[in-house]
Amino acid sequence: MVIVESYSVAVLMCLITMLCWGSWANTQKLASKEWRFQLFYWDYAIGVLLLALILAFTLGSSGSVGRSFIPDLQQADLKWLGSAFLGGVIFNLSNILLVAAIDIAGLAVAFPVGVGLALVLGVVTTYLAKPEGNVPMLAAGVACVMLAIVLDALAYKKLASTGQKTPVKGIVISVAAGLLMGWFYSFVAQAMGKIDPTTHALEIGKLSPYSAIVLFSAGLLASNFLWNSIMMVKPFTGTPVPFGDYFTKGNARLHAIGILGGVIWNLGMGFSIVASTAAGPALSYGLGQGATLVGACWGVFVWKEFKGAPAGTGKLLAAMFLFYLIGLGVLIASKV
């Protein structure tokens, strides 16, 4: 398998993760103009698993380091296979809630609140699972992100005062998504074996990063038959979504958009997991969740979700971006 040993390369990969995780939801925005987000999400889940398998049979099965994908699966303990799979199940529930929040409140709200909260919890839980990095600096970076979340919520409250949004439902669903999303990464990180810095031998019984991504993705797709089915029958807004609409209302372009969304997101997940061997899981996850900043930029500047907001909203958004940038910078420095 291919591994990353350079910290600078690992940080670059985490930045790509940030761009992927912050941009994939644009595919939902495009698709939701023509059909419900629950239908889009089936293709998204397929795209996630597809990219995981491509990575596993290419980068995960080449080179002289560690174990190839299939042999790695064969030697892994059931406990760690289940841990990575469970990470996908937990993430999928949180991500469906996030997608619902985007549908209701927009990218500029759902990402800073939901994914920002996930960043905070994820850094903490991942550090507890694998304690690597400078604790005071990790804490300072997390504190800046928390402040940015509060500022974004205040900006959303101002927008709501104009009657353009439904603040309670959008923010509550975003918070629920963030609380769940903050836990999934630690299950995947724990399932991954340590790589000996001298011999590059991979810990016996645990998974390579590439195998962990596949098990995670399988958990996501499998749980979709539960979580997304519930969301179709009992949606937060609108009428129930008939399952037959996936086949009768979809076309090749809409399906491709959904699959592309899953591929983009899991490319970020793959880079984050692989980079964690050099950057540490807590930093790798925390920096990748800088996607909150990217997603907010898409929402504010491209989709114009705060257009027509009252005076003072712009200052709150500017402060939000500033504290996110400071927080991300501190997180990067925590490992140097």
Which span out of 94-108, 175-189, 245-259 was modeled with the highest average pLDDT? 245-259
In the predicted model, what is the mean pLDDT of residues 140-146? 87
Domain limits, the chain: 7-333
Q: What is the CA radius of gyration of the chain?
A: 19
Any idea what DSSP says for residue 132?
Answer: -
Between residues 221 and 100, the one the model is more confident about: 221
Confidence at residue 309, expressed as pLDDT on a 0 to 100 scale: 80
Residue 152 has pLDDT above 60, yes or no: yes
In this predicted structure, the answer to whether residue 331 has a pLDDT above a threshold of 60 is yes
- pLDDT band, residue 113 (cuts 50/70/90): confident
Task: Give the per-residue pLDDT at 161.
Answer: 65
For the cut 60, the answer to whether the pLDDT of residue 166 exceeds it is no
pLDDT of residue 164: 57
301 or 48, which is more confident: 48
- Kindly give the residue spans of alpha helices, DSSP state H, lying in 32-134: 37-57, 69-75, 78-105, 107-110, 116-129
Q: Are 118 and 178 in contact (CB under 8 A)?
A: yes
pLDDT tens-digit profile of 85-96?
Answer: 999 999 999 999
Residues 6+ positions from 84 with CB-CB distance below 8 Å:
187, 188, 191, 192, 207, 211, 212, 215, 216, 219
- pTM for the complete prediction? 0.85
Q: Is the predicted pLDDT of residue 20 greater than 90, yes or no?
A: yes
| pLDDT at position 336 over 60 | no
pLDDT at position 162 over 70: no
Is the pLDDT assigned to residue 102 strictly greater than 80? Answer: yes
Residue of 329 and 285 predicted with greater confidence: 329
Q: Does residue 143 carry a pLDDT above 80? A: yes
- Hey, what amino acid is at 302? V
Q: Is the pLDDT of residue 107 over 80?
A: no
- Asked if residue 1 has pLDDT above 80, the reply is yes
Residue 167 is predicted with a pLDDT of 56
According to the model, what pLDDT value does residue 151 have? 87
Whether 115 contacts 17, CB under 8 Å? no
Query: CB count, 10 Å around CB of 297?
Result: 17
Alpha-carbon distances, residue 50 vs 115, 207, 266 (angstroms): 24, 19, 9
Choose the weakest-confidence range: 26-40, 229-243, 281-295.
281-295
Average pLDDT, the chain: 88
Asked which of 161-175, 178-192, 203-217 is least confident by mean pLDDT, the reply is 161-175
Residue 48 clears pLDDT 80, i.e. is over it = yes
Structural tokens at position 135: 């604790």
Q: Return the pLDDT at 43.
A: 98
